[in-house]
């Protein structure tokens, strides 16, 4: 299926403006369209309509059985997921205070209005039995876009902007033509932050405290879970971190020199 060439923002010679660009993207989503948007772990295909979601699924050549992800704010995660307060606090610290991207899988509220508003086909693509995956966003652009979605009440469904199995795309010019042409709007913020990982974001089953996917920035997430909540997670074999010496801060390793200040005789 052929699609028109999408509009690209910001226009050549214009620098990004998060509020302006997010408003434009929201307008396209509200009209049922598809947006290619920047994410630290690679560009994503986003839509809020059943038609747009089906279009992205076909463009990616995704096989049946592969789930998509809700791309949303921490507020949406609180609204839709069913977790004890201490686990919401974990995700709040990781995603809000530390501003890290994290995909969270957990049981969800099937009777919530934002869920019941989804078509049966969309719900089937976005859920796996009783669980829902939510990518809690980190970048200023996505935070503004999800804020607008929260105000409106719509849910944004997303997936990586690439053919299935071809790997994350960290620059717009690397996105395959058939995927690129499936969008109505492209938000081009150039090379994305986690390009050296060459993989998507970390996905964590928060209900069972289980790592589903070791993604970009996983080693940071792992150390924070251990440091702050004493939760031991498996090490990423591709991104090992040099172990701490346990010697403590440098200032504790040697005696302090006390400098005396003699009173002036002038």
- Look at residue 119 and tell me if it is in a domain: yes
CATH number (domain holding residue 137): 3.90.870.10
pLDDT band at residue 248, thresholds of 50, 70 and 90?
low
Has residue 249 got a pLDDT over 70? no
* Residue 50 within a domain: yes
Tell me whether residue 266 is in a domain: no
Asked whether residue 262 is assigned to any structural domain, the reply reads no
CA nearest 156: which of 13, 65, 22? Answer: 22
Residue 239 lies in a domain: yes
pLDDT of 261 > 60? The answer is: no
Contact at 8 Å (CB) between 107 and 205? no
- The pLDDT > 90 percentage for the chain reads 75
Average pLDDT over residues 88-103: 95
Alpha helix (H) ranges present in the chain? 18-30, 50-59, 74-80, 85-92, 113-116, 120-126, 140-152, 177-180, 218-229
Q: Is residue 139, in this structure, part of any structural domain at all?
A: yes
Q: How do the residues of the chain divide into helix, strand and coil, expressed in percent and rounded to 5?
A: 35, 20, 50
Domain count, the chain: 1
Is residue 264 in a domain? no
Which residue in 27, 57, 25, 39 sits closest to 124, CA to CA? Answer: 57
| pLDDT band, residue 89 (cuts 50/70/90) | very high
Task: Compute the mean pLDDT over every residue in the chain, rounded to the nearest whole number.
Answer: 89
CA-wise closest residue to 138 among 42, 34, 235, 33: 42
| pLDDT above 70 for 263 | no
Look at residue 260 in the predicted model and tell me its pLDDT.
52
- How large is the average pLDDT for residues 130-159? 95
Q: Any idea which of 26-30, 55-59, 246-250, 251-255 has the lowest mean pLDDT?
A: 251-255
- Give the tens place of pLDDT for each residue, 211-234: 999 999 999 999 999 999 999 999
Give the rounded distance of the alpha carbon of 204 from its chain centre: 12
Q: What is the pLDDT of residues 29-78, one digit of tens each?
A: 999 999 999 999 999 999 999 999 888 888 888 766 677 899 999 999 99
Q: What is the pLDDT of residue 265?
A: 44
Q: Alpha-carbon distance 20 to 126, whole Å?
A: 29
Comparing 63 with 164, the larger pLDDT belongs to 164
pLDDT of 207 over the 70 cut: yes
Asked if pLDDT for residue 27 goes beyond 90, the answer is yes
- Alpha-carbon span 72 to 136, nearest angstrom: 5
Q: What would you report as the CA-atom Rg of the chain, rounded to the nearest whole angstrom?
A: 22
Q: Quote the domain boundaries for residue 91.
A: 7-252
Q: Work out the burial of residue 147: count CB atoms within 10 Å of its CB; fewer than 13 is exposed, 13-18 middle, 19 or more buried.
A: middle
Q: Are 133 and 70 in contact (CB under 8 A)?
A: yes
Decide if 179 is inside a domain: yes
The strand pair at 210-213 and 203-205 is best described as antiparallel
């Amino acid at each position: 299926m052929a699609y028109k060439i999408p509009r690209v923002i910001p226009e050549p010679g214009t620098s990004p403006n998060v509020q302006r660009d997010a408003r434009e993207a929201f307008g396209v989503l509200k009209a049922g369209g598809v947006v290619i948007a920047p994410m630290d772990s690679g560009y994503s295909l986003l839509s809020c309509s059943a038609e747009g979601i089906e279009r992205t699924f076909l463009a990616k050549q995704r096989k049946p059985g592969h789930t998509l992800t809700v791309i949303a704010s921490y507020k949406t995660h609180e609204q839709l997921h069913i977790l004890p307060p201490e686990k919401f606090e974990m995700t709040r610290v990781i995603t809000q205070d530390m501003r890290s991207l994290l995909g969270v899988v957990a049981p969800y509220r099937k009777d919530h209005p934002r869920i019941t508003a989804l078509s049966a086909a969309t719900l089937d693509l976005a859920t796996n039995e009783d669980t829902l995956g939510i990518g809690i966003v980190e970048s200023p652009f996505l935070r503004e876009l999800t804020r607008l979605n929260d105000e409106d009440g719509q849910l944004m469904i997303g997936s990586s902007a690439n053919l299935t199995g071809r790997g994350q795309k960290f620059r717009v010019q690397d996105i395959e033509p058939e995927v690129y042409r499936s969008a109505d709007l492209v938000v081009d913020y150039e090379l994305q932050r986690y390009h050296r990982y060459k993989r998507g974001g970390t996905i964590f089953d928060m209900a069972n405290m289980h790592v589903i996917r070791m993604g970009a920035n996983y080693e940071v997430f792992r150390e924070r879970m251990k440091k702050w909540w004493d939760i031991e997670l498996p090490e990423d074999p591709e991104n090992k971190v040099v172990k701490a010496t346990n010697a403590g801060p440098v200032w504790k390793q040697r005696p302090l020199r006390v400098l005396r200040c003699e009173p002036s005789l002038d």
